[in-house]
Structures are given as structure tokens and as C-alpha cells.
Amino acid sequence: MNTNVKHHLILIDDNDIDQLLHSKIIEITVPETSIQSFGDATIALNHIKNLGATSNHHTIIFLDIQMPVMNGFQFLEAYHLLPTEVKQLYTIYILSSSVNQHDISKAKNNPYIKDMLIKPLSKDTLTNILR
Amino acid sequence: MEKQEKITILYIDDEVNNLSSFKATFRFDYTILLAQNTEEALDHLNNYNVQIILSDQRMPEITGVEFFEQIRYSHPMTVRLLITGFSDIESVIESINRGHIFRYIKKPWVELDVKSAIEEAYKFYLATALLEEKNTSLQRAYNELSKFAYSVAHDLKGPLVSVRSALRIISDKDDPDERAELINMITASLRNLEGFVDSMYDYYKLNQGELEIEDINLEILAKHYQDIYGLTSKMSNVAFSITTNQTEIFRSDPSKLKIILNNLIENAFKYQQNNIENKFVKVNLAVTSEYAVITVADNGIGIEEQYQHSIFDMFYRATTHALGSGFGLYNTKDAITKLDGTLSVESKPYKGSLFTVKIPTK
């Protein structure tokens, strides 16, 4: 493990293949990144809730849209209810294969969404974000 | 016009004599319901499928036109006919123009006028009812299509994108183990894609054409699944058994039966618990008293009660446990409906699920 962690990242995607692929691309592109993967958005949300405002670093979240149980937008609704000092610690990007206009405009109008990334995740995009 | 069933007509008038003479005149031609006030009329409207309503204009608490205005939105399909004398003609014209009334009948009415008005009203009813039915089915098809387009974008594109990412990474990796891992991911993605395409084809087939009924030999069917799932069972360490009990002839559409069995068995394997001993999938096919009863039981992850009614909806997925398309059980239910069968599910989270399908012989 790299002891020199510069970036912290949370992946929320129910597709375990994509989770692994994204971890690998990140490893290759920005090796000094710590990654936590969640297949279920409810578990990711609990994780963030439990950490609260104790964390001393900023974390980037890559959030998929179409997921069973809790989808990306439902996650954002629940995230909205978290205290501001918790939300300050995170930046959220949508990472989805959706090209659905409705999803895109919904994501763009959400105040917590920094940007919308379309799968596949490219090295350039990653470098730009984690620079 | 050919009449299969008698037209149901509701007649509302505060004068009992009018009511009884109306019924006496028309009871052989139509099913007649009578009401002396609006309360009784509403009761009839809510309890019977009233195609045509006739009302007297002059009643003590409310006029016929006012009553029609009231029911216009609650009972839009019922065709409204007003019975009135010439003195009310102004208000009648206005309400005809505002669309509250289909026609008016002069008072005192003569049998022939009433009959012709009823026949016209019924033709109008049939035309609008037909239109309504078509509209509903069009709306349903349209809703499915937009769900379809949305899901195609996600479920067909998703695996392709994964494959593209994996190939991109492979070119950066030299380690043979890592490359092998990535190739496994590609294979898994392509298998998902293949599964989705198969489901799409099932969906298309289900909505195509007539049933093709044949004698079904359950033992042969069981053998087919034993062959297919024998290997899966060994590889995934899930005991698979399929038993039959057929004492009489069963006739049904084999391709639809296969859609049902494929999906139920596939799901039973897919949604297993990871860390338990003695995993199993048990299928039983039986025919008794002109019904085939199919049961598929497993001790997998089960389905929480709150999701049990939604699992048959198109593209609904209740769990992140495995990558379902949300298509399988929708097709299953559709196939069962087309065979006039029924489906029930009993399930407890982390105990397992039991699907029971009953299909009548054709």
C-alpha cells in the first residue's frame, strides 16, 4: 500500500466489474490515491454518516445513477440531509453510462454535483480531477 | 348493430309514475336501473357499468343539467340524455353546447324517439369506449417503450463500456495474472450483455403472435434443465434437483413455459447466499386436475417483503447482490399471464424463496 496517500476517493457503483475497472484505472493514473468501493449506496451513506465530521481530509465521490435499492439521485436526497460540516468534506461527481437527457439535466441542476462523467473513465479526466 | 349484452340504462326522475312506465316500456330491450333522486342515481353509477343515463330536467333538489355537470368528470364514459319540456329549451341548448348532454328527448316522450336516441347514444358510447381502450393500451406501450429506451441505453451500453475500459487497462499491464483477471471481467460483461439481449428477444416473442399449443412431457423438460444446470450446479456448489409428477396430459405453449422456467431457475442460482453450507435449488413439475404446478425453491438471499410486489415490474431490481437486468421476472409474469396462469411468491430474507406457478392445460 502506498503510504503517501494524496487523494481519497469513494466509488459507489452496483456493477462490481466497473468498480474493479475504475479502481485499476485510478491505480494506474494516480497511484497515490486511497479508494473505497461500495456496491450499495445505502451502505456508502451509512459510512459517510458514521464518519461524520471527524475526517481530516477531503474525499471525492464517484456516484453511479442507475442502481437498485437506492439509486444515485436517492442517494443525493439523503446526502442533502447531512450536516453542512460533513458535506464540506466531500465533492461528488456522477460517473454513469447514462446519456439520458433527463438524468443529465437533473444531475447538472443538483447543487452537490460538481460534474457529470460518462463511463468509461479516462486517464485524462482523472488527472484533471485529481490534479 | 349486434348486441351481445343488453345496454344498461339508468333513468332518473322524481316522479314514480314516470319511472315505472319507462321501465314497463323498455325492460325487454335494455337493462333498466331506476332512481328517484341523485343519491340513488350515484349509487347505481358506482355499482353498475351504466352506459347511458337519462334524466328528467325538472327535479326538486337539482336540475337534470346540473346533475349531468356533476357526474361529467366522475363518470365520463356514461352518455347523458336529458328529458325535458319545451319551456326549458334555453338551458338545454346551452348545456348541449357545453358538452354536458349528448342529446335531449322531448317530453312527453314517445317510445320511438327514446329508442332512437338510445341507439345513437350507444353507438357513441362504443366508439368512445373503444377509443379509450386503444388509448390505454397505446399509453402502456408508450410507457414501456420509454422505459425500454432508457434501459437499453444503460443495460446494453454498460457492458460495452466496461469491455472498452478493460481493454484500455490491459494495454498498460504486463502481469499475466492481472491480464487474465481483466479478460475474466470482459467475459463476465459480455455474458451480462448476452443475457440482456436474450431477455429482449423473449420480450419480443411474448408480444408476438398466437400461442403454439403442444403436448408437454414434463420428464423431457426436466431432463433438459438437468443437462443445462448440471454443470452450473457443480461449478457454483449449489445442489440442483428437478422432480416431476405427471399423471395426465398437459397441453401448453413450450416456448412460454421455457421462458418461465429459465428465468425462475436462473434467478434461484443467481441470488444465492455467499457463505452458507448446503445451498440448493429445488424444482418440482407436477400435473394434476388439469393444472401444471411448477415450484422453484432455493435457500438464497430471499426478497424483503416491501419489494415482493415490485419484482415483477419492468426493469425493477430489488438488490445489488447480483447484476440483474430487471427484465427476467417481468417476462416471466407476462408469459404466465399469456398462459392464463397464476404466480405466487413466498420469501424471507436470508432464508430463501419459493415461487409457485399454476398453469391450466389448454
Q: Is A104 on the interface with B (CB under 8 A)?
A: no
Q: Exposed/middle/buried for B120, CB within 10 Å: 0-12, 13-18, 19+?
A: middle
Out of A14, A25, A97, closest to residue B169 by CB: A25
B265 is a domain residue: yes
User: pLDDT above 90 covers what percent of chain B?
Assistant: 53
Domain with B89, as residue range(s), is 8-109
User: Are residues B153 and A39, on separate chains, in Cβ contact within 8 Å?
Assistant: no
Contact status of A46 with chain B (Cβ, < 8 Å): no
pLDDT in the model for residue B352? 93
- Extract the runs of DSSP E, i.e. beta strands, from chain B: 8-12, 31-35, 52-56, 79-84, 103-106, 214-215, 239-246, 251-252, 280-288, 291-298, 342-348, 352-360
Query: A60 CA to chain B: closest CA distance, Å?
Result: 21
For residue B104, tell me if it sits in a domain: yes
Please give the average per-residue pLDDT across B138-165, as a whole number. Answer: 83
Mark which of B90, B109, B128 sits at the end of a domain. B109
pLDDT of residue A3: 60
Report the DSSP beta bridge partners of residue B8: B31
Whether residues B218 and B331 fall in one domain: yes
Check CB contact under 8 Å for B169 and A68: no
Instruction: With respect to residue B183, please indicate whether it lies within any of the assigned structural domains.
Output: no
Beta bridge partners of B270: none
Last residue of a domain, one of B109, B138, B168: B109
Boundaries of domain holding A58: 20-121
Q: What CATH code is carried by the domain that includes residue A31?
A: 3.40.50.2300
Higher model confidence: residue B4 or residue B205? B205
Chain A residues with beta carbon closer than 8 angstroms to that of B313: none
Last residue of a domain, one of B109, B140, B171: B109
Q: Would residue B139 count as lying in a domain?
A: no
How many whole angstroms separate alpha carbon A17 and alpha carbon A22? 9
B95 vs B16, higher pLDDT = B16
Please, what sign has the CA dihedral across residues B34, B35, B39, B42? positive
C-alpha distances in angstroms, B39 versus A52, B69, B71?
A: 61, 15, 12
Q: Do B185 and A25 touch (CB under 8 A)?
A: no
Q: Which residues of A touch B166 (CB under 8 A)?
A: 17, 21
Domain assignment present for residue B54? The answer is yes
Any domain includes B74: yes
Question: Domain tally for chain A?
Answer: 1
Which residues in chain B have their CB less than 8 angstroms from residue A121's CB?
Answer: 165
Nearest CA in chain B to A16: B323
Q: Which residue in A20, A25, A98 is closest to B185 by CB distance? A: A20
Nearest CA in chain A to B187: A17
pLDDT tens string B35-78 = 999 999 999 999 999 999 999 988 988 888 889 988 988 998 89
Task: Tell whether B219 and B334 lie within a shared domain.
Answer: yes
Output the domain CATH number for residue B82. Answer: 3.40.50.2300
φ/ψ (deg, to 5) at B330: -60, -50
Domain annotation covers residue B162: no
Cα–Cα distance between B13 and A80 in angstroms, integer?
A: 60
| Confidence check: pLDDT of A38 > 60 | yes
Confidence of residue A19 (pLDDT cuts 50, 70, 90): very high
Q: Is it the case that residue B310 has pLDDT exceeding 90? A: no
